[in-house]
Amino acid sequence: MIVMEFFKNKCNHDKFPVDKDTGYCPDCGELIENQWFIVRCGCCGVKHKAVIKNGQIVPVEKFCHNCGGKDFVVERVNKINFIDINYAVLVKTIIPCEHFEFTQSWAESKETSNYTRKLLQQFR
């Protein structure tokens, strides 16, 4: 059973539109949030092109072409501008949904009484 976990197809949410903030993936049905990130130099603040390597957002170049610094800051952007689209990285994250499972039942009444059916109280 553990071996089969490795061969499961994991959805990459490729068909989920880039221009939406949140929504449901048409392939797997998960609730997805698009998060945009920009990498800036820690010294001068110049934007750099970024990629995702091993689950981390890192700049393409190892040093700043403006000041030569090696420190970088990853900044989350709420709304992406068309100017920043060349520098931004998109991360599609799954928003966990809280599902509450409960059982409801109806009280059956006899046809001879004047009792109306009501939904019984739910206990958790």
In a domain, 111, yes or no: no
Of 36, 8, 9, 10, whose CA–CA distance to 22 is shortest? 36
In a domain, 58, yes or no: yes
The total of structural domains in the chain comes to 1
In a domain, 44, yes or no: yes
In a domain, 108, yes or no: no
Structure confidence by residue, pLDDT tens digits, 104-121: 666 665 555 666 666 666
Q: Among 7-11, 33-37, 73-77, which stretch is predicted with the lowest mean pLDDT?
A: 7-11
Q: Is 4 helix (H, G, I), strand (E, B) or coil?
A: helix
The answer for residues whose C-beta is within 8 angstroms of residue 13's C-beta and 6 or more apart is: 25, 27, 28, 30, 32, 92
Per-residue pLDDT, averaged over 51-60, amounts to 91
The pLDDT value recorded for residue 1 is 47
Locate 92 and state its tokens: 């599609």
In a domain, 106, yes or no: no
In a domain, 30, yes or no: yes
The pLDDT value recorded for residue 75 is 94
Q: Among 21-30, 61-70, 115-124, which stretch is predicted with the lowest mean pLDDT?
A: 115-124
The answer for residues whose C-beta is within 8 angstroms of residue 69's C-beta and 6 or more apart is: 41, 42, 43, 44, 63
In a domain, 46, yes or no: yes
Q: Is-contact 17 23, C-beta < 8 A?
A: yes
Range of the domain at 28: 20-94
In a domain, 9, yes or no: no
